[in-house]
Structure formats: structure tokens, C-alpha cells
Amino acid sequence: MSPRARTLAIYAGILAVAIAAPWIAPAIVVQMAFLWLMVLFALTWDVCGGQMGYNSFGNVVFFGFGMYVCAVLQRDSGLAYFHAMFLGMGLGALASVAIAAILGPAMLGLRGPYFAIGTLGLGVAAADLAAAIEYVGAGSGMAPPVFPGGAGGSARFYYYVLMVLAMAAFLVLRWLYSRRFGLALNAIRDDEDKAEAMGLRTTRYKVVAWCIAAFFLGLAGGPTGNLAGFIDPRELAFAGPTFGVWMVLMAMLGGRGTIWGPVIGAAIFHVTQELFWTYLLGWQRVAMGLVIVLIVLFFPRGIMGWLRERWPQRFARGVAR
Amino acid sequence: MSLLEVSRVRKTFGGVVANDDVSIAVPAGAIVGLIGPNGSGKTTLFNSIVGYHAIDKGSIRFEGRELARLRVPQIARLGLIRTFQQTRVYGEMSALSNMVVSIPVARAGFASMFAGFARETVERAESLLEFVGLAEKRHLLAGDLSFGQQKLLEFAMALMAEPKMLLLDEPTAGINPTLINGLIERLQRANAEMGVTLLVIEHNMRVMMGLAQRIYCLAHGQLLAEGTPAEIMNDQRVIEAYLGGH
């Protein structure tokens, strides 16, 4: 089989399983929907964190902002349920991109640990802001409108929405990484001063990269809020200590700077986490913390990085990479 | 009019005067050398030219255009590219990727960010790698190349950007002596065949004699002498500066 045919076969297989999953395992549809969300988290984090070398701990801001924009629109627009939801998703994404475009030039002027700390601050500030604004329910959160088709229907519907978003993110990023865009991000990661000395418009690339991450995170916010059924500013929308950190860990575990790494990392991380919740209840956070330490210690370059070192022929970069 | 005109540049760091009243001129198409003992202010002058730091006094003009207020990438996009003394390449990318990402970006619009790689671009990258003798290494990670090979790669990347002028900071430092002749020949070919004007910092006098048409010598941040290689070689002040006459 040619490599192209093999790739297509793999994609078709994943797509088939993904579509059938809610019917095969109806009891865990919500968890599987969150799996797609985790894949999207890791993929979008890796745009800046892996490909470009800018470790953001604040990407959750775009997610939460998209969620709130969608929820407010659903509450106040008076549109029918699905119209309001999809319009809210789109507006949420646009609002998140706008935030990334406005904050980007200043934030992405920070390098290394300063960028990480700065974005961490953004996340904390956003959570506290949302928890203080009465218009969006302040600390007591918001409840999106009830799904018209019953609880099971809601889970299945949002499972498919998040699945499509994660797959779209994967395909768009895969395409971008195969273009000049991907190489420019890698150049910035490897030596930003050199890239500037070569005349590269580094700020433009950095801001656009962050905006792309913000776009998909903003899109994902709305459906996640609806899936959860209740929007808590700190526990769901701007959940820095959980989602914000997990994004980083999942990408690291799978292998940052690769397209499959974040996907694999997210899958392993999410399944592990669900198992901990099931079998180690009460100790799940301790176990998760231990896993995090082990990841950093033994898989600093992630699974894909390890595979590449082990079998460079098979997992090497593409022609121009 | 010269392609690059540095006139009466002064640059201080705190109380240290790194460059004082330095004027050099590089005519289009020329190969000009810049020599001087360690700490004489050569690299500082380079950094001033390419916009790494603001100068205190004087002016730097490239094609008649003042550079003093422009930033590093803007100056690079005018066609004035520098290489680094401590070689800098994109370590986690293949040599070929290092090349194709270095295409000229002066007129590149927003959409070009998402462009693919034209066949001509890849071919040009490969032929330039061949030009510097790295064709066989094109799929290796740049970070895995030896220091000398990285230096050659950096030179090829600079050529890939189609500069009008190249500022080379010690291009032969750390390169195997037997390869130096080959490098000199390549610098000359880049100058003659690709029309790239060169301003070269170099410690190796033998290299300078064979390469430069005109040489400026700095000492203690000031211009000590200028002239043809033969004149510089026989200039008593230059000899003293190098042998530690001060």
C-alpha cells in the first residue's frame, strides 16, 4: 500500500470508529466527547507550545471566552436552540480570535518563562473576572438552555460537534504544518533571533499562530458548556489548574512539535484519568500528579519524540521538514 | 555612491566606547574586509549596521537610506543579511528546511505565510547546498552538523535570501584549514556570480589578503587604517595593534 493510501485507510478507520462510538458505548458518551475536547486542547496548545516554542498556560482563556459568548447569546438572542448555539459558537470563536490578536503582539513579545508566566496570569485574571461579573452569573455560573432532545440526545449531539471540531483542527493544522507556516514556526522555536536576522516577520507568524489556536478553542467552548450543562467560571470555563495544565501535559506526553503527538497524548492522558477516577477515587489527583512527574522525567520529548529517536526512518519528518 | 555608508558612528555601552567616529564605505559589488584585534569593536559595528542596537551618533546608510531607526528584520528585508560569529542555524530542522524557510521575504504578503514550496525553491535550496558542499547532508538536522558545516549552512541560508549585501562575521573561524581555501573561493563566486556585495570580519590575515579588495582596520573602537591589503599588511600601526604594541 502506498503511504498515501495507508494514511487514508488510517483516517477512514478512525472516522468509522469515532462515528460508531456513541452507539457502541452509549454509557460513556460524555467521557468520549471530552476525549475529543482533550485532543483539540492538545492540538491547539501545540501550535504555539510545540511548533513555535512558546509555552502558553493561558490558552484556556480562549476556550472560556468562547463558552461565555455562546452561553450569553443562547440566553439573550431569542433564537431557536440550534441557531443560537451555532451562531454563539461562531461569535465565540471570533471573539477569542480578537482577544488573541489584541493581546498577541504584546504577550508574544515576551520570551521563554516570561511568556509562560504572563499567560498564566491571563488565565487567572480571566477566571476571576468571570467570577465577578454579574451579567454572566458571577461566581454562581451560568446554565445554558435545555437541549430540545433529552439528556442522551444532548450528549450524543455534542459528542459529534466536538468530534468534528477536533478532526477539523487536526486537518487544518496538518495542512498548515506542511506549508511555509509550519517551517516558520519551527524556525522561531529553534532561534528567533536568527529568524529576525533573516528578515522573517516573526510577530506576524506568532500572532497568527495564537489566533489559530484561539479560533478552535473559542469554537469548542460553546458546545462544551452545553455538554456540561453548567458553566462554572473556575471549574469549567477558565479551568487553568486542570484544562490549562493538561493541555501542556498531553502535548508533552505525546510529543510536542508533531501532529500525532498531541492526539496520542490526549488519548492516553484522558483514558488514564478516567481510570483513576473510577478505580482510585479519592486518590485520583495524587495519582495524576505522579503521572505528570513521570511524564516530565521519562518522556521529556514525548512518545513521538521517543519513536523518532528509536526508528528515525519510519517516523522521520517529511521531505522539506 | 557606496552601497553601504557608515559615517562617524559612535556607540557606547555605559562608559565603554565601543565605536568612536568610525566611517567606512562599501561600494556595490565590492568585497571589503574589517579587521582589528579582539575587542576593537568590529562586531559592535556589525550589530549597529544590522539594527541590533541604536547608535549614539553618526549615520548608517544602505542604498542611500538611513538605517538608524529601522529594526533588525526590516533591515534584513532591505537585502542586508548578516551571519553570526557564533553560528546560528535552526537546529531541530533539516538542512534543507533551513534553506527553504530562508527565501526572500521582502515583498511577501499575508497569504505567502500559507504558501507551499515551489519546485524552483527546493531546487534552488538544493543547488545552494551543493554550492557549499552540503548536498549529502540536506536531510540531516542542522543541529547535528559539525560547527564548520553549520557555518557553511548559514552562508548558504544567507545566499538563499538573495541579499544585496552580506555581512559575514568571521566566516572561516572554526573551519578546518584545508576547507578555508574552498570557502574563500565560494565567497568570491557568490560575489562575482550572484552579485552579492560582501563586508567580512576576519582574523585570518591570509584569508583577508586573498579575498578583500579594501580593508579597514579598527583598534580600540576607532578606525586605525584603511587601504588595499598590501598597504594594510605593511602599515606599521596595524602591525603594532596586532602584536600588542599598545
Q: Cell numbers at residue A14, please?
A: 478512525
Q: Which of A314, A197, A216 is nearest to B75 (CA)?
A: A197
Q: A193 in contact with B at a CB cutoff of 8 Å?
A: yes
Q: Which of B88, B67, B93 is nearest to B78 (CA)?
A: B67
DSSP letter assigned to residue A52: I
- Average pLDDT for A69-86: 94
- End-to-end CA, chain A: 23
- 8 Å CB contact of B50 and A197: yes
- pLDDT at residue B209, rounded to an integer: 84
- Average pLDDT for A275-280: 87
Q: How far apart are CA A52 and CA A44, in angstroms?
A: 12
- 8 Å CB contact of A201 and B73: yes
Which residues of chain B does A200 touch, with a Cβ-Cβ cutoff of 8 Å? Answer: 73, 101, 105
Give chain A's radius of gyration (CA, Å): 19
Residue % of chain A over a pLDDT of 70 = 97
Q: How far apart are CA A126 and CA A233, in angstroms?
A: 9
Q: Which of A174-188, A288-302, B1-15 has the lowest mean pLDDT?
A: A288-302
DSSP secondary structure, A66-131, as one string: HHHHHHHHHHHS---HHHHHHHHHHHHHHHHHHHHHHHHHHHTTS-THHHHHHHHHHHHHHHHHHT
pLDDT tens per residue across span A211-238: 999 999 999 999 999 999 999 999 999 9
Which CATH class for the A26-315 domain? mainly alpha
- 8 Å CB contact of A199 and B90: no
Q: How far apart are CA A292 and CA A286, in angstroms?
A: 10
Q: Cell numbers at residue B207, please?
A: 584569508
Residue % of chain A over a pLDDT of 90 = 74
Neighbours of A103 (CB within 10 A): 18
Nearest by CB: B161 against A181, A199, A208:
A199
Could you tell me the pLDDT band of residue A105, with boundaries at 50, 70 and 90? very high
Q: Which of B73, B19, B22 is nearest to B41 (CA)?
A: B19
Domain coordinates in residue numbering, chain A: 26-315
Lookup result for grid cell 509562560: A116
DSSP secondary structure, B32-97, as one string: EEEE-STTSSHHHHHHHHTTSS--SEEEEEETTEE-TT--HHHHHHTTEEE--SS----TTSBHHH
DSSP secondary structure, A183-229, as one string: HHHHHHHH-HHHHHHTT--HHHHHHHHHHHHHHHHHHHHHHHHHHHS
- End-to-end CA, chain B: 36
The Cα of B164 is separated from the nearest Cα of chain A by a number of Å equal to 13
pLDDT tens per residue across span A283-300: 888 888 888 788 788 878
pLDDT tens per residue across span A45-76: 999 999 999 999 999 999 999 999 999 999 99
* A319 pLDDT above the threshold of 60: no
- 8 Å CB contact of B114 and A204: no
Interface of B with A (CB under 8 A): 50, 72-74, 76-77, 81-82, 84, 88-94, 96-98, 100-102, 104-106, 108, 110, 112-117, 122, 143, 157-158, 161
Phi and psi dihedrals of A309, rounded to 5? -70, -35
* A208 pLDDT above the threshold of 90: yes
Residue % of chain B over a pLDDT of 90 = 61
- 8 Å CB contact of B114 and A321: no
Could you tell me the pLDDT band of residue B193, with boundaries at 50, 70 and 90? very high
* A250 pLDDT above the threshold of 80: yes
- pLDDT at residue A317, rounded to an integer: 58
pLDDT tens per residue across span A148-181: 977 778 999 999 999 999 999 999 999 999 999 9
Q: How far apart are CA B96 and CA B141, in angstroms?
A: 9
Lookup result for grid cell 576593537: B40
**Residue B227: in which H helix or E strand, if any?**
strand B222-227
- pLDDT at residue A192, rounded to an integer: 96
- pLDDT at residue B81, rounded to an integer: 94
- pLDDT at residue B244, rounded to an integer: 63
- pLDDT at residue B145, rounded to an integer: 92
Nearest by CB: A190 against B76, B93, B116:
B93
CB B9 within 8 A of CB B44: no
Lookup result for grid cell 467560571: A233
Which residues of chain A does B143 touch, with a Cβ-Cβ cutoff of 8 Å? Answer: 190
CA dihedral angle for residue A228, residue A229, residue A233, residue A237, rounded to 10 degrees: 40
- Average pLDDT for B152-179: 90
- Average pLDDT for B216-238: 89
Greatest Cα pair distance in chain B = 58
- Average pLDDT for B35-46: 88
Q: Is A192 exposed, middle or buried (0-12, 13-18, 19+ CB in 10 A)?
A: middle
- Domains in chain B (CATH in brackets) are 4-243 (3.40.50.300)
Q: Cell numbers at residue B143, please?
A: 543541529
Mutate to test the interface with B, among A177, A181, A189, A190 (most CBs of B within 10 A): A190
- 8 Å CB contact of B84 and A194: yes
